[in-house]
Amino acid sequence: MEAISHSVEETEQLGVELAKSLRSGDVVTLIGEIGAGKTTFVRGLALGLGVAAGSVASPSFVLVRQYTSGRMPLYHADLFRLENLPQAANVGLEECYEAGGVTLIEWANKVPGVLPEQFLEIRFEAMDPESRRLTLQPHGPLYQGRKFLA
Ligand SMILES: Nc1ncnc2c1ncn2[C@@H]1O[C@H](COP(=O)(O)OP(=O)(O)OP(=O)(O)O)[C@@H](O)[C@H]1O
Ligand SMILES: [Mg+2]
């Protein structure tokens, strides 16, 4: 499944759309280079879950941020800084998976072994300064056969 965004606003809107189809317990990985649009997408997704606009920041010193004001809890992790700290792989993601909300993980590819068996992967690619290609890949029966972006 693929979607093209031509602007920051369109990427946010794709996040809003995805939020509609997410269920409690879902885990979504966001993969792509720096500036590919992962956090932009998370902002829209948070909005789509009903989290107050403008409250999403990149997790930095905190590796996981949680937002509880939406229709279900949202956990937003960014593992970029964990690249050289494999021993820190346990940042509490297991707890997020089991907490009955949605977990979004930027740079999940930096830390092997941190993912659950099943998850939805979204790849972000910059096609030009303003355009991004998003590719959705379900991993596991929990995500196969579901419609994610209308
Ligand atoms: N269509 C687009 N969608 C998303 N961002 C875009 C788009 N076009 C341009 N941009 C710019 O690309 C950047 C995306 O930043 P963002 O923080 O979302 O990336 P990121 O993938 O989270 O990066 P990082 O790996 O550093 O966390 C912003 O500066 C934004 O203005
Ligand atoms: Mg980011």
CATH number of the domain within which 121 lies: 3.40.50.300
Domain containing 29 equals: 2-139
Burial 31-45 (b: 16+ CB within 10 A, else e): bbeeebbbbbbbbbb
Confidence of residue 81 (pLDDT cuts 50, 70, 90): confident
Q: Which of 150, 145, 139 is nearest to 31 (CA)?
A: 139
Structure pTM? 0.95
Given a contact cutoff of 8 angstroms between Cβ atoms, the answer to whether 130 and 38 are in contact is no
Confidence of residue 51 (pLDDT cuts 50, 70, 90): very high
CB atoms within 10 A of CB 126: 15
* Ligand that lies nearest to the alpha carbon of residue 13, given by its number in the listed order: 1
* Ligand that lies nearest to the alpha carbon of residue 36, given by its number in the listed order: 1
**β-pairing verdict for 102-106 and 64-67:** unpaired
Does the pLDDT of residue 61 top 70, yes or no?
no
- Residue 12 Cβ inside 6 Å of ligand 1? The answer reads no
Whether 10 maps to a domain, the answer reads yes
Q: How many domains does the chain have?
A: 1
Q: Which atom of ligand 1 is nearest to the CA of 80?
A: 25
Whether 11 maps to a domain, the answer reads yes
Residue with CA closest to ligand 1 atom 9: 130
